[in-house]
Structure 1
């Protein structure tokens, strides 16, 4: 009967001997062998004040079709469609890129449809923000807060210098919990084909990114911004170690265009093509399958003027390697119209450099309800040189739509809003963001100028 007791005593003794060193370890000083333990804390103390939380409020407009029997009771003129509004709220993150001017960059989808944007700074202060401009196709938005003391801006890195394996730290506001920091590495570069955005050239990271991190910062170990967190890949919207960020070089180019023009003026090369397969590379005398293959050069395009030909393989833009056609498309689009680019190409097995001046993209069209619900049913675009005047043109109009009922006609050119000149979609969007109760539209119709009052 004594054997079990002996065994238990032996077990207790061995547990005690195992636990004793752990207790002793807890009493060790912070430094080991006169060396400080590695920590990200010193870097984060300088960076985290530049990352903010964003809360939005807005109204979502939806169409509801009413039964045709209503016309029996109220007459054939009774509308069978009704616009309904319901309030919504959202949370996200943002990054201060200019402390003097109060500029904050975030994702377009974070502030899309917002009537009110509130920013909470790292120290707990809450301030309201104004939307300067945004670009849905690249998912970037630029905000401005009024002059606020003691703002901290983040330094911008060169995202073209990133390498797979570099350490990365993600900072944001996941699930509205407050500022959270996660770390990992750069898992891949130039990710595309995810159908998240129209122009995709993502940095992929395994640093944990969750809902609410959108618009937050991805930084390197120097505390410099390398990307804006934008999306996650997961079955339930949670972290599975695959997150995506927009490269900071792309963000910088887009925000500069928004500040200068009120919108993004996309550059166009004028080529059609696809991914470079190993078979195509071998057939055209190229040793690897990194690059963008040109199937066709559009007549009178920037590419044709620069001397590009079908069969050329574009391998770099401004000295930076191109891996896929999607990456080429994203880089060219975000460089901006009128910008010069040096393209590295392979033709007949020989490498050469071609200089090209990018042309402006064709007219971008915007659904008017995305600007203001009382303009629903219209489609707008910037005027062209053929119109002879700068403004916003009604390119399409649905019959019996709200915009049509207020008197807009297809072909109208909006020259002003509430006595404020309107020269492009960016200026119209900015004016409508103030959500005025009355819209006094100065409209050019044919050779006449008239006012349409929308209440």
Structure 2
């Protein structure tokens, strides 16, 4: 009997210990520790632990949403028809002063006096711009400047009072897996906030467009979100929502934003210089994914392989050579070409960057002074440069780029060099960035027309098939 009582007592005690251990384990899993009097150090550690838990279901998005939703606006692109254009226009009531809505999007207020960042494709071709705030106040807006290549535009309203705005964050510090909010006006639904994570960085959606470098997110972005804000949980602007990849035209899990550092640089250029100050490293190169045979030779699968160094460029002057592999720039890892171009696009001519290259198995750091992008090669075999004001005045045109060299035998150098290209496929060309963009937007197999003014002052039009 005594033995049975002893066994019973041991069982009860063992059960109590097991239950107590389970209770302690369970409560520790939930971040609760039972102690009669925690020490000051324990309390501080626990407070810091709780403060740093900015992930999972414990993340509170309400503050970020409240701080940003009033600074995101609805942008309407309105076209004005100055006269009857067709029988269909007349039937639809379009008279001499009729208006039509071309499209809508979003915009982000970045200063209290009414400067707003949006996408270039949101405001492109607008006769009038209408901006509606979250409080339903509507203003007319004017375009301050735009850049089609980065798809960033700066517009301005004249408010009666200071407006809520979103401060720029540092998109270089954004991490994959970090929570972000997309704020905008999808499907004309004003002030919509969706949440997701940063899915990837330095995405290039078009292999032909080497300057692209998007933040990818799975926060729901739909038509109408273009130009809206991508913000972190601190309410800082880390991107301008720009594009989705979808077979249906609506969100399917992939969305892309222009990094805030790139957008801010474009905005600063427009406000300070009136145009885009494009700094270049001065190399041609590729990812190792495009040259897998080089991976084994160089002992790496990541980086940018330098195939050519431009004469007179900052890269050449600093000592970068063909067959170098760029691994870092300003201590930022370069795994692919879009990492490099995405960072360079935040810099201006005469800025200095520190480039780490792999050469003959040894890493070497080289300081490079960026030069200005002032010449480009068009795929039709012509090299063009920005025309000066005097050259444009001489040819009596307001826009155009100058042909500086022929790269194909099909052109007579004495006839073409010095001529001014004014239009490509009917679109006016103002600088070499416009010329590059015009060719990138041409669909494969489609025709091409180019208008230029020759050295005799005659306007010529060439059609390529």
* Bucket of the pairwise TM-score, normalised by the shorter protein: 0.5 to 0.7
Q: Paired residues, what number?
A: 337
Q: CA RMSD in A?
A: 3.7
Asked if 2 retains the 8 angstrom alpha-carbon contact of 1:120 and 1:126, the reply is yes
2:78 corresponds in structure 1 to 57
Shift of 1:233: 0.7
Distance verdict in 2 for CA 1:247–1:37, change over 3 Å: closer
Could you tell me which residue of structure 1 aligns to residue 320 of structure 2?
Answer: 308
Q: Which residue of 1 aligns with 2:65?
A: 44
Who is 2:242 aligned against?
Answer: 230
1:156 to 168, 171, 187: 168
Measure how far apart 1:193 and its partner are: 3.8
Which residue of 294, 301, 307 maps to 1:280? 294
Whether 1:299 and 2:311 are equivalent positions in the alignment is yes
Does the CA contact (< 8 Å) of 1:93 and 1:215 recur in 2? Answer: yes
> TM-score, normalised on structure 2?
0.65
CA contact (8 A) 1:381 1:392 kept: no
Indicate which of 101, 111, 123 corresponds to 2:123. 111
2:283, 2:308 within 8 Å by CA — same for their partners in 1? yes
Q: 2:413 maps to what in 1?
A: none
**How do 1:3-402 and structure 2 match up within 5 A?**
39-58=60-79, 87-100=100-113, 102-194=114-206, 199-277=211-289, 279-286=293-300, 289-362=301-374, 382-384=386-388, 387=391, 392=398, 394-395=400-401
Question: How far off its partner does 1:258 sit?
Answer: 1.1
The runs of 5 or more residues in structure 1 that have no matched partner are 1-34, 65-84, 366-379, 398-409, 415-423, 427-444, 447-455
How many angstroms does 1:213 deviate by? 0.3
In the TM superposition, residue 162 of structure 1 has moved relative to its aligned partner by 1.3
Tell me the CA shift for residue 180 of structure 1: 0.6
By how many angstroms is 1:364 displaced?
A: 7.9
Q: Secondary structure at the match of 2:226?
A: coil
Gaps of 5+ in 2: 1-49, 51-56, 86-97, 378-383, 404-417, 423-429, 433-453, 456-465
State the Cα deviation string for residues 11-42 of structure 1 (Å, max 9, x = none).
xxxxxxxxxxxxxxxxxxxxxxxx99864222
Q: Contact 2:110/2:165 (CA < 8 Å) preserved in 1?
A: yes
- Which runs of structure 1 show a deviation greater than 4 angstroms over 4 or more consecutive aligned residues? 35-38, 85-88, 195-198, 385-397, 410-414
Q: Distance in 1 between matches of 2:229 and 2:296?
A: 41
Instruction: Provide the secondary structure at the position in 1 that maps to 2:265.
Output: helix
Q: Are the structure 2 counterparts of residues 393 and 364 from structure 1 closer, same or farther at C-alpha, using a change threshold of 3 Å?
A: farther
CA distance in 2, matches of 1:196, 1:118: 34
Whether the 8 Å CA contact 2:387–2:402 is kept in 1: the answer is: no
The DSSP-based 3-state class of the residue aligned with 1:235 is coil
Q: CA deviation at 1:383?
A: 2.9
Report the CA distance shift for 1:395/1:296 in structure 2 as closer, same or farther (over 3 A).
closer
Give the strand-richer structure, 1 or 2. Answer: 1
Provide closer, same or farther for how the CA distance between residues 38 and 315 of structure 1 changes in structure 2, counting only shifts above 3 A. Answer: closer
Report the Cα distance in structure 2 between the residues aligned to 1:194 and 1:425, rounded to whole angstroms.
Answer: 22
- Give the superposition deviation at 1:363: 5.2
